[in-house]
Chain A
Amino acid sequence: AQTVTQSQPEMSVQEAETVTLSCTYDTSENNYYLFWYKQPPSRQMILVIRQEAYKQQNATENRFSVNFQKAAKSFSLKISDSQLGDTAMYFCAFMIETGANSKLTFGKGITLSVRP
C-alpha cells in the first residue's frame, strides 16, 4: 500500500519570501506520479505541479518548483516570492502510473499562511 506523509501541519511565511513544504511517501512501485494540490478557503482543489517518477529533472511551474529525491522518497514543494493568494492548504498526492489502480493517495495536508 502507498502512504504519503506530510509531517508539518502548519507553516507561515512572510510575503515575498520563499517557503518549502515537505512530503515523503512510501511505495514499492517504480513508476508513479507525484502531485501538489492547493486548496484555498473556497475548497476548490487546484493542481499546482506534477512530477513523473521516471524524470530526473525537477518540475517547475512559475514560482513553484519541486525537489524530487526518488531514492529518499521525498517530494518537497518550494514556493518562491510568496503571495497572499498562496494562503491555502497544500496536499501532496501520489498515483501509480499503471491504469489498473489510478486513485490518488493524499497526505494529511499542510496549512500555509502568507503574512503581509
Chain B
Amino acid sequence: KAGVTQTPRYLIKTRGQQVTLSCSPISGHRSVSWYQQTPGQGLQFLFEYFSETQRNKGNFPGRFSGRQFSNSRSEMNVSTLELGDSALYLCASSRAPGTEAFFGQGTRLTVV
C-alpha cells in the first residue's frame, strides 16, 4: 500500500512568487492535513480537509490556502512568498477526521 506522496520534494522560490504543493493521501483516506515545520516555531497546523471541504484552519495569513479534490488529493498554495515561509511542509492523511494520521516525506521550500 503506497504511503502519502508529496511533490515536489524540494523547491526554491523567489520572494513575491507563489507556489503550489501537492499531496496524494493513502488510498482510502479521505482526510488531509497540512503542517508547517520550522526550527523556530516547530510544527504548526495549517489546515485540514475532508470530503473536499476545509474543516479547520490554523493561525496563518490568507496567503496560505488549500483545496481538496474529489479523489482526496490536496494542494496548498502560498502566494506572495516571504523569506519566513521557508520551511518543511508536511502533509498527513487519515481515514477520517480524528483518526490516526500518516505523514508524507514533506516538501522543503526555500524562499530566497
Contact = CB atoms under 8 A, between A and B. Distances in A.
Contacts of B31: 102
Interface string A33-64: 00001000011111100100000000000000
B11 to A, nearest CB: 14
Contact of B102 (A47, A101, A106): A47
Residue with the greatest number of chain A CB neighbours at <10 A, chosen from B45, B103, B105:
B103
B92 interface: yes
B88 interface: yes
A86 B52 CA distance: 37
A81 B92 CA distance: 30
Given A44-B105, A47-B102, A104-B33, A99 B96 contact: yes
A99 B45 CA distance: 16
Given A95-B98, A98-B98, A99-B97, 15 more contacts: A44-B103, A45-B90, A45-B92, A45-B106, A46-B103, A50-B100, A100-B55, A102-B55, A102-B98, A104-B33, A104-B101, A105-B45, A106-B35, A106-B42, A106-B43
Interface of B: 31, 33, 35, 42-43, 45, 48, 55-56, 58, 88, 90, 92, 94, 96-106, 108
19 contacts: A42-B105, A43-B105, A44-B105, A45-B90, A91-B43, A99-B96, A99-B98, A102-B55, A102-B97, A102-B98, A102-B99, A103-B33, A103-B45, A104-B33, A104-B101, A105-B45, A107-B42, A109-B42, A109-B43
